[in-house]
Amino acid sequence: MTVLGSVAPGFDAVRDAFADVLADARGGASFAVVRDGRAVVDLWGGLADPASAVPWRDDTLCVLFSGTKGIVATVVAALDVLDPDAPVREVWPGFTADATIGHVLAHTAGLPYVDGEHDMLDNAACAALLAEQRPLWTPGTRVAYHALTYGHLVAELLRRATGRSVGTLVRETLAEPFGLDLHLGTPEYLDGRMARLLRAPGYAISTVLDDPERRKIVERMYAGLLDSDERMNSAAYRRAELAAGSATGTARSMARLYDLLGHGQVVPPDPLARATRTWSEGVDAINDRPLRFGLGYELEDPIGTYGPTSRSAGAFGHSGAGGGRHGAWPQAGLGFSFVTNELRSENADGRADRLLEALSASL
């Protein structure tokens, strides 16, 4: 498949790595790097819709899955209206768990799934159920990725603190002021730009997990989303303002967002420093995967999610289901983003790793 776009002088290795990614693709992808406000890598190619052979274009939008969490973490830090040390019930009367806002943002609240019949697209209903739910552990004592409930909880906290929906806050705090092509609650007029998601053969979730009992919990957490092509490609999913995973955007805008953050824009220095220091770390109590979180952001970890250790010191951002990777390398003064519509299992996906290694070698 043809590589489209451009790279600045000295970044040819990144173009070559992206060409390798496309050569092995059933779908499409884009990779962007913005450094000091300048796009030094802006590449795309492949198919936005393999079934109808629609090509990936420079403005193709794609569901970002958990890359959404980094966007929402930025909104939380920019508004600075949620005290991470405050009990959740201080903002949300009737919330029964003895959890702080920091526990929610750092994935230690012990509420990794909604117990009871629910529609994952209904933020308010899921939040109401979570408010009455007993945590699986004492909040703050264990870390485990709250794949979808992070979004229900944070959206409700923001709604109560500001009186506005999380999608409105993304638009008013990030997209409009900084001209970012990012959307939470994607409007109908953008449907024609959407990439169609597809799962690679053998796609699986939580590939490091062997325990059958905890596997049942993981399946419960993701049921009806990553196991359903229909749901993940539905207009209803894109319209839902799911703060954990339904944002759409371009690699160019995600890379620009993280470059802005790394240069002290969008979020003032003190709130950003607080949001990007370690608030939780350890092996996921459910998934067995090493984790390290700030206040909603993923941080550099022992398995190299954010690239070579020579570059990833101080890195923050958020990955997304199926291969997306978005973040900042503050020491290198850049933001990066890899977006794809072809979901691959973590243990069989080296695309973003290859691109970040080439980027490191180019600096």
Which residues are part of the catalytic machinery? 66
Q: How far is CA 34 from the centre of its chain?
A: 18
- What's the half-sphere exposure (Cβ side, CA atoms, 13 Å) at 67? 31
Q: Strand pairing of 182-183 and 54-55? A: unpaired
Q: How far is CA 73 from the centre of its chain?
A: 10
Of 326, 336, 323, 329, the C-alpha closest to 46 is: 323
Quick one: tokens of 68?
A: 């959404």
Which residue has tokens 């590939």? 207
User: Residue 198 pairs with which residues in a beta bridge?
Assistant: 342
Beta carbons of 362 and 11 less than 8 angstroms apart: yes
Collect all residues with Cβ–Cβ distance below 8 Å to 104 and sequence separation of at least 6: 88, 146, 150, 153, 154, 157
Closest CA to 233 of 337, 322, 333: 322
| DSSP assignment letter at 247 | -
Interior angle at CA 242, CA 237 and CA 243, nearest 5: 150
CA–CA separation, 37 vs 286, rounded Å? 39
Q: Which two tokens stand for residue 39?
A: 């796009």
- DSSP of 39-104: EEEEEEEEEEETTTTEEP-TT-BEE-TTHHHHHHHHHHHHH--S-TTSBHHHHSTT--S--BHHHH
Nearest to 108 by CA among 126, 128, 88: 88
Rounded distance between C-alpha atoms, residue 195 and residue 47, angstroms: 8
